Chain A
């Protein structure tokens, strides 16, 4: 199949029509959440609790290790963990967006992007539950982000927009090469340690390589920064814009070419 420009038209409309099917991916996303926690009284808040315990334990321990005040460190690590949960969820669940939707893909002719929007929406719901941790910590240490806090919302929107291309791209590649999800999972784990979630950026004497060239740092900062009351640096916005643009271009190019193969690969 030669990938002419004309084959891109259906791929674009797939992405747009998929977004419009908001009732469908909205319902499927909720169904995923409910299915996971159906018979537990606390539901998705189990996730919140386990992350909360982790944040509290690590927060106190590392505040001691790094010799930082708990009142400063705990909100930082809480914000970092919650945002990282969203980013890593978008990436790892994005890999299986199509694989897990196999039965639907093979039986109903829907825009394939629906399955990616479903994953993004589901991850966002989990994030909303986890955000409670940050709110509690912020109240506890009376953090008032003020007007800068509102900037977390566009930051969140940027994360979701990127989550869509990540899901389309990784979902596509993973449908073909089934070992991709494992590779991505270990990549995400390494990135977690390289990104200032547990450690503060100020601890790094020469920040150039590890921070400025780490897109994950900038994405985390877009949400965590405002939540802690400081507007993200311009470089973070620029880096995020660059990744968003580049990511979508690469994804659309591949999606145009290989989208129609997904049903065959599943």
Chain B
């Protein structure tokens, strides 16, 4: 593990190619929307959507960052850039520390496989070694309270049970940089409190947290700083209450 995780984003621009979409006739219309990115020409052929434009941010150990903004403002794209999934079309990203991205909690769930098998596959996708997975399986199993169900195919689970399983596996890792898209919701009332505690501990273990969310209550509880995105640009960045006020004021 590196001593100090850090994330630097320098003048990052992301252009998405749009293929097959004959959006020319809608061009003017789209350019004047209030949500979404900018639409323009891509490399001289076809259309492109500018999802991020000249985004510059720096995160250091201890940062609890909320990404806020309207739909299509670029939150998910920025998270993917931070994770290294999208290499930006312009600008640079420097990343130090083990990164974990939790965008979709049920990624890689095989409904025909048993709970235990799914713990294994999901663990591998999260970057754990088989030995680490074996080590943690008991703890994960205990947390889910699924008991013998873990030896049954996941398609026999209720959606709540499946969520418990996915949640327990996802939160068993120790990333230095944690990237999350929306909060992981866990339905079952009896389970919520327990899950919340685990989630809190999980998030606190991470050196850096970047969370994209629409829930002001949640953001206030977890994050200390905020970044307000608007049509792919950073409109404001700073203490979370100021950013939330600005976002609320802007939205109304």
Interface residues, chain A, with chain B CB atoms under 8 Å away:
1, 23-24, 27-28, 31, 34-35, 38-39, 103-110, 260-261, 263-265
Contacts and interface: CB of A to CB of B under 8 A. Distances in A.
Interface in B98-154: 99, 101, 103-104, 107-108, 110, 112-113, 117, 120-121, 124-126, 129-130, 153
A181 B235 CA distance: 43
A254 to B, nearest CB: 16
B185 interface: no
A28 B120 CA distance: 10
A interface: dominant SS: helix
B110 A35 contact: yes
Nearest to A176: B19
B113 A34 contact: yes
Given A31-B121, A38-B113, 5 more contacts: A35-B110, A103-B104, A104-B107, A109-B83, A264-B16
Contacts of A105: 85
B83 A35 contact: no
B112 A38 contact: yes
Given A23-B129, A104-B107, A106-B80, A264 B17 contact: yes
A34 B87 CA distance: 34
B86 interface: yes
A65 B124 CA distance: 53
Rank and list the top 6 A-B pairs by shortest CB-CB distance, nearest first: A260-B87, A109-B84, A38-B112, A24-B124, A107-B103, A109-B83
Among A31, A108, A110, which residue has the most Cβ atoms of chain B within 10 A? A108
B156 interface: no
A26 to B, nearest CB: 9
B34 interface: no
Contacts of B85: 105-109, 263
A103 B113 CA distance: 18
